[in-house]
């Protein structure tokens, strides 16, 4: 965060946003919320969910590498810009091709010479990042640790469909026809349509998003396919994205028909958690080499399964277990892990996702929590997270006449930019949108 | 072909075993000298393991130390003298009804069956055939982004089998062309020169990729080109003594034929050994980095046994030096099964005069030329019903259910304005003594502004509706709605509550 005109961080107005790696200064953790079992019958007041992160900063006349470096220091996540090609290595050395150009296709290029200025005053981080992408004609990807990577592919701006308090947009569409004969002569044909969706929280909390399901597509001739998840299993959940107010999900549909020319219908249901509540637990930090007791918060079980102390500091592995249909957002903003020392001093921790697994209807998630400069810790780990329950609210969405052709030689029938053309509720027609 | 160095010779006469290399692993793809009388498949592949250091395992467990033959197991006599391992494996497969594939560069995996038979074209002592062929047609669209991307590729695997069994001398491809039905010649985008993944030691596969412009071909008139074959394989060895209280100081350097080798890291802690080794060689040398006959690193243990080190291997063009020079970096780690006494680096290099073997494979039917039945009528697939879901139907509590009962419809006040609210319904039936039964709570889900309970036991009910607001981030917190009404349920009839709207 940069205070206007001073170029120094303004930590008061930053809620560090990005989903997986987070570092919070001392004192940023919100006070414990009253009524930690929010949403349970009988509770008269529901605690507020954490608000969307915001940013205030002034960036003046910067090329993309410098702007990314400033964002990195403000947001405290890595923002990787692919390096320029060495001089002489390309006809346009200030631009980068992400992949060798395929014959007939133009390469994707990043413009390193373009300069930009940004003035953000308490704007949502997601909006600031989108402005960054629009200006430099790029997009942002996020890895499992929460680090961001700049890609030369511009942000998708196709039509959006309204789904209650959310918007659903097709970010990318891939049609693949793969036919092969293996070494034993066996013939296989795999033909599928892959749709990459972005789900954006417009007027409700992003933590409510579970996934998209029942995705159904019709081509220009009315030939339809329907996504079929395994019986008894929920799809998704949708994955966090670079923009804190978004989730993403890719759906792949087997396509048994001749190659589609256009899609006249893309529809589905947005599945939402009916209940999202803020939880807090405290776990006594055991000695290195020991494991902690299990602390329960409703159906969420928390345990420190590994504690290592070295000259670099303390590192613990936290394991959260919950029923498979439940969600836990430990890394939601604001990041919420800190060590509370015996005298009450609070030391924030860096949280990194390590992986997850499923076993007998339970979901297990491991996180690495680290704090530098603290070796012999006698205290408590205070953890705050969002508990997501009952993913059973469905909101239908519908996109008609998707204007992008899937066959070579067909012209696009709709514009690729401009305002969205949404119907009153739950549907949109082609034509592009922001 | 001649072999500059072999890993040793083994002569087995009956059960009399003479091991001339005293446990050392054989060179990359050794020749086998083995005579066994009345030997089972398991016994033979166990001996091959001892001879070559490769692992030989089978789907039925043969090859494992603990495996025991069935009493009626097939037994044969083998008598191989200086036979290349590839031919030995083919002989084994033929006599025991087995198919075999390689496990990378570690060994071989058998299962019941037959080796695949392919149409081969023989030229210059090499049998050429085609393995897997794949045609890919992709369209990628980013709405609002750059123009749609259309990409077509053809990938095929050219299999080259040395008829004399000496697959190690097979090099890369030169001047390859794919000629389509219209006579247009296509050049590969990529031919990977040093990939030696293959099924058997006497053959090598050469993957070929073509970015295809225009419609995919259904057939190729021909595939033609030249395969390079060397006259011999030299295996260079570098032995670094480790005995003593501390490992030798690094860096260490050694010239191994055309290859410059250096050890940058060498750490020994107890039985744990870590090393980083880099090899550099000029473009005109041919060193295999993966697969059979590849670079390998062993630790020799105090008891004379050898143990192979594994780890991360990165190969590529050398960042500096002459154009096309290659480099191989290995970051290896191992837990030794005994005190290590030496590190041994083995670098096979194809060398000697190169032959260019011309080949031509004609009339290749491609996957897009195979018949494919496509559906033309829509599937008309319906979205499955959601249990207790969006149609507003509520499951009846068991003790209030009656097959011929009535229907209760509940108007859900303000539901559309509070879509994320939690709504619960408490049903209590009036008993004969005038008291009320225990309240049965059910959840109301979905988006419908009303909900129905069907098949409800007739009688008078007290219906309690509670609506809990969603957690909010802005604005005043809405209050919990809690209302109760009474209603009579009549068999087969519809009764309504909260018709006036309670929100």
CB contact under 8 A, B136 and A178: yes
Which positions in chain B touch A173 (Cβ < 8 Å)? Answer: 139-141, 143
Binding-face residues of B in 426-465 toward A, CB within 8 A: 445-447
The region of weakest confidence among A268-277, B134-143, B149-158, B309-318 is B309-318
Q: Give pLDDT, residue B302.
A: 87
Instruction: Indicate yes or no: pTM above 0.80.
Output: no
Q: What is the pLDDT of residues B345-354, one digit of tens each?
A: 999 888 878 8
pLDDT at residue B97 above 90? Answer: yes
b/e map A346-372, b = 16+ CB within 10 Å: bbbbbbbbeeeeeeeeebebbbbbbbe
Structure-block tokens of residue A311: 């000259």
Average pLDDT, integer, range B469-490: 70
Q: How far is CA B213 from CA B146, B364, B367, in A?
A: 19, 18, 17
Q: Which of 222-241 (B) contact A at CB < 8 A?
A: none
d(CA B468, CA A61): 50
Which residues lie across from A194 on neighbouring strands?
A174, A252
Contact A51 B473 (CB under 8 A): yes
Q: Searching chain B, which residue's CA lies closest to the CA of residue A430?
A: B143
State pLDDT tens for residues B318-341: 665 556 688 899 999 888 888 889
Averages of pLDDT over each 10 residues, chain A, 434 residues: 30 29 29 30 48 89 96 89 65 42 63 94 94 95 86 88 92 95 90 96 91 94 88 73 94 94 93 88 90 89 90 88 85 69 84 79 86 78 89 88 80 38 32 34
A180:B145 CB<8 A: no
CB contact under 8 A, B116 and A407: no
Highest average pLDDT, of A359-363, B157-161, B265-269, comes from B157-161
Distance CA B99, CA B103 (A): 13
Whole-number pLDDT of residue A411: 60
**Residue of B141, B382, B473 lying closest to A172 (CB–CB):** B141
- Report which of A259, A106, A265, A268 is spatially closest to residue A174, judged by C-alpha positions: A259
Residue of B nearest to A108 (CA): B146
* Rounded CA separation A373/A349 (Å): 11
Q: Report pLDDT for A26.
A: 26
B83 token code pair = 């036979």
What's the maximum distance between 2 C-alpha atoms anywhere in chain B?
108
SS3 for B169? Answer: helix
Chain A neighbours among B 347-406 (CB < 8 Å)?
Answer: 367-368, 370, 372, 374-384, 386, 388-390
| Residue in A106, A175, A179 closest to B139 by CB | A175
Q: Give residue A50's pLDDT.
A: 72
- CB contact under 8 Å between A393 and B420, yes or no, is yes
Give the pLDDT confidence score for residue B304 in this predicted structure.
Answer: 84
User: Is the reported ipTM for this assembly greater than 0.90?
Assistant: no
Question: A388 with A329: CB under 8 angstroms?
Answer: yes
> Are B471 and A272 a contacting pair at CB < 8 A?
no
| Radius of gyration of chain B, Cα coordinates, nearest whole angstrom | 37
Name the region of A79 (left: φ>0; alpha: ψ -120 to 50; beta: rest). beta
With a cut of 80, say whether residue B168 has pLDDT above it: yes
From chain A residues 199-228, the ones with a CB under 8 A of any chain B CB are 204-205, 208, 214, 216, 218, 221-226
Q: How far apart are CA A67 and CA A74, in angstroms?
A: 11
CB neighbour class for B82 (10 Å; exposed up to 12, middle 13-18, buried from 19): exposed
Buried b / exposed e over A149-177, threshold 16 CB at 10 Å, is: bbbbbbbbbbbbbbbbbbbbbbbbbbbbb
- Separation in Å, CA B274 to CA B263, B309, B338: 11, 9, 15
Distance to chain B for A370, nearest Cα, Å: 27
Instruction: Enumerate the residues of chain A whose CB falls inside 8 A of the CB of residue B151.
Output: 102, 105
Q: Which residues in chain B have their CB less than 8 angstroms from residue A394's CB?
A: 386, 389-390, 446-447
Start-to-end Cα distance in chain B: 93
In whole angstroms, give the CA distance from residue B3 to residue B9. 13
In contact, B199 and B101? CB cutoff 8 Å: yes
Confidence of residue B393 (pLDDT cuts 50, 70, 90): low
Task: Give the residue from chain A lying closest to B466, CA to CA.
Answer: A41
User: Are the beta carbons of B144 and A155 separated by less than 8 Å?
Assistant: yes
Residues of B in contact with A157 (CB under 8 A): 143-145
Average pLDDT over all residues of chain B:
82
**Cα–Cα distance for residue pair A390/A210, rounded to 1 Å:** 10
pLDDT band at B172 (very low <50, low <70, confident <90, very high): confident
Nearest CA in chain A to B131: A183
> Is the model's pLDDT at B56 over the cut of 90?
yes
Residue of A nearest to B198 (CA): A183
Flag whether pLDDT at B358 surpasses 90.
Answer: yes
**DSSP per residue, B220-253:** EEEEEEEEEE-SEEEEEEEEEE--SSSPPPS-EE
> Closest approach of chain A CAs to the CA of B347, in angstroms?
30
CB contact under 8 A, A108 and B138: no
Residue of B nearest to A186 (CA): B132
Tell me, yes or no, if A288 comes closer than 8 A to chain B by beta carbon.
no
Q: Which residues, in sequence order, are bridge partners of residue B443?
A: B424
Contact B497, B410 (CB under 8 A): yes
Cα(B297)–Cα(B275) distance, rounded to whole angstroms?
A: 10
B487 — pLDDT class (breaks 50, 70, 90):
very high
């Amino acid at each position: 965060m940069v205070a206007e005109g001073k170029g120094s961080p303004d930590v008061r107005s930053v809620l560090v946003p990005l989903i997986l790696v987070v570092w919070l200064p001392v004192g940023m953790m919100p006070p414990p919320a009253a009524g930690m079992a929010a949403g349970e019958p009988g509770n008269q007041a529901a605690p507020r969910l954490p608000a969307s992160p915001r940013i205030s900063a002034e960036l003046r006349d910067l090329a993309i590498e410098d702007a990314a470096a400033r964002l990195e220091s403000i947001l405290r996540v890595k923002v990787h810009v692919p390096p320029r090609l060495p001089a002489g290595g390309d006809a346009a050395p200030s631009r980068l091709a992400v992949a060798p150009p395929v014959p007939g296709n133009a390469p994707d290029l990043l413009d390193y010479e373009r300069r930009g200025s940004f003035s953000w005053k308490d704007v949502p981080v997601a909006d600031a990042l989108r402005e960054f992408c629009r200006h430099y004609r790029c997009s942002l990807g996020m890895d499992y640790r929460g680090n961001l990577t700049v890609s030369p592919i511009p942000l998708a701006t196709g039509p959006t469909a309204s789904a209650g308090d959310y918007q659903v947009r097709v970010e990318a569409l891939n049609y693949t026809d793969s036919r092969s004969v293996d070494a034993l002569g066996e013939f296989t044909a795999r033909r599928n349509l892959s749709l990459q969706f972005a789900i954006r929280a417009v007027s409700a909390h992003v933590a409510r998003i579970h996934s998209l399901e029942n995705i159904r597509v019709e081509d220009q001739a009315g030939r339809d396919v329907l996504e079929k998840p395994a019986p008894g299993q929920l799809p998704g959940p949708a994955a966090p994205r670079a923009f804190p107010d978004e989730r993403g999900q890719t759906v792949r549909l087997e396509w048994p028909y001749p190659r589609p020319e256009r899609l006249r219908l893309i529809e589905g249901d947005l599945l939402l958690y009916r209940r999202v509540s803020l939880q807090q637990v405290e776990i006594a930090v055991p000695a290195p080499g020991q494991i902690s007791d299990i602390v329960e918060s409703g159906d969420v079980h928390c345990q420190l399964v590994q504690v290592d102390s070295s000259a670099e500091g303390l590192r613990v592995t936290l394991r959260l277990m919950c029923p498979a249909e439940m969600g836990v957002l430990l890394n939601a903003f604001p990041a919420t892990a800190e060590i509370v020392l015996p005298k009450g001093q609070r030391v924030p921790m860096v949280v990194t996702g390590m992986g997850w697994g499923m076993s007998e209807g339970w979901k297990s998630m491991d996180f690495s929590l680290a704090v530098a400069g603290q070796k012999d810790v006698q205290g408590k780990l205070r953890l705050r997270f969002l508990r997501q329950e009952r993913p059973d609210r469905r909101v239908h969405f519908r996109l008609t006449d998707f204007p992008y052709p899937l066959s070579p030689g067909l012209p696009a029938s709709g514009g690729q930019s401009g305002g969205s053309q949404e119907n009153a509720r739950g549907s949109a027609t082609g034509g592009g949108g922001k | 072909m001649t072999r500059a160095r072999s890993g040793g010779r083994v002569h087995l006469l009956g059960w009399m075993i003479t091991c001339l290399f005293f446990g050392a692993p054989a060179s990359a793809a050794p020749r086998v000298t083995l005579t066994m009388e009345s030997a089972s498949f398991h016994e033979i592949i166990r001996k091959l393991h001892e001879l070559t250091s490769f692992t030989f395992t089978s789907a039925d467990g043969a090859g494992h130390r603990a495996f025991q033959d069935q009493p009626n197991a097939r037994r044969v006599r083998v008598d191989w003298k200086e036979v290349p391992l590839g031919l030995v494996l083919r002989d084994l497969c033929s006599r025991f009804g087995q198919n075999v594939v390689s496990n990378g560069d570690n060994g071989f995996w058998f299962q019941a069956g037959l080796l695949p038979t392919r149409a081969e074209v023989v030229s210059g002592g090499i049998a050429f055939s085609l393995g897997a062929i794949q045609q890919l047609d992709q369209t990628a669209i980013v709405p609002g982004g750059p123009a749609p991307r259309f990409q077509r590729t053809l990938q095929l695997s050219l299999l080259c089998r040395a008829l004399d069994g000496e697959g190690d001398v097979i090099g890369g491809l030169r001047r390859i062309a794919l000629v389509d039905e219209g006579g247009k010649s296509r050049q590969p985008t990529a031919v990977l020169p040093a990939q030696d993944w293959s099924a058997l030691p006497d053959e090598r596969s050469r993957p070929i990729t073509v970015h295809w412009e225009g419609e995919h071909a259904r057939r190729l008139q021909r595939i033609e080109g030249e395969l390079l074959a060397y006259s011999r394989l030299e295996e260079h060895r570098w032995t670094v003594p480790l005995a003593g209280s501390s490992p030798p100081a690094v860096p260490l350097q050694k010239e191994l034929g055309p290859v410059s080798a250096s050890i940058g890291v060498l750490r020994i802690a107890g039985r744990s050994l870590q090393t980083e080794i880099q090899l550099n060689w000029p473009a005109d040398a041919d060193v295999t980095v993966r697969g059979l006959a590849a670079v390998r690193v062993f630790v020799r243990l105090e008891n004379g046994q050898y143990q192979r080190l594994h780890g991360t291997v990165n190969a590529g063009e050398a960042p500096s030096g002459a154009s096309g020079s290659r480099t191989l970096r290995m970051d290896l780690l191992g837990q030794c099964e005994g005190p290590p006494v030496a590190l041994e680096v083995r670098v096979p290099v194809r060398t000697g005069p190169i032959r260019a073997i011309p080949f031509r494979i004609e009339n290749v039917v491609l996957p897009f030329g195979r018949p494919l039945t496509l559906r033309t009528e829509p599937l008309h697939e319906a979205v499955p019903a959601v249990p207790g879901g969006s149609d507003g139907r509520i499951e009846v509590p068991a003790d209030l259910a009656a097959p011929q009962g009535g229907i209760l419809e509940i108007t859900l006040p303000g539901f559309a304005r509070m879509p994320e609210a939690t709504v619960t319904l408490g049903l209590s039936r009036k008993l004969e003594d005038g008291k009320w039964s225990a309240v049965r709570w059910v959840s109301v889900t979905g988006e419908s502004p009303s909900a129905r309970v069907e098949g409800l036991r007739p009688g008078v009910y007290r219906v309690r509706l509670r609506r809990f607001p969603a957690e909010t981030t802005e604005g005043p917190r809405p209050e919990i709605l809690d209302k109760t009404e009474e209603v009579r349920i009549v068999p087969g009839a519809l009764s309504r509550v909260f018709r006036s709207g309670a929100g």
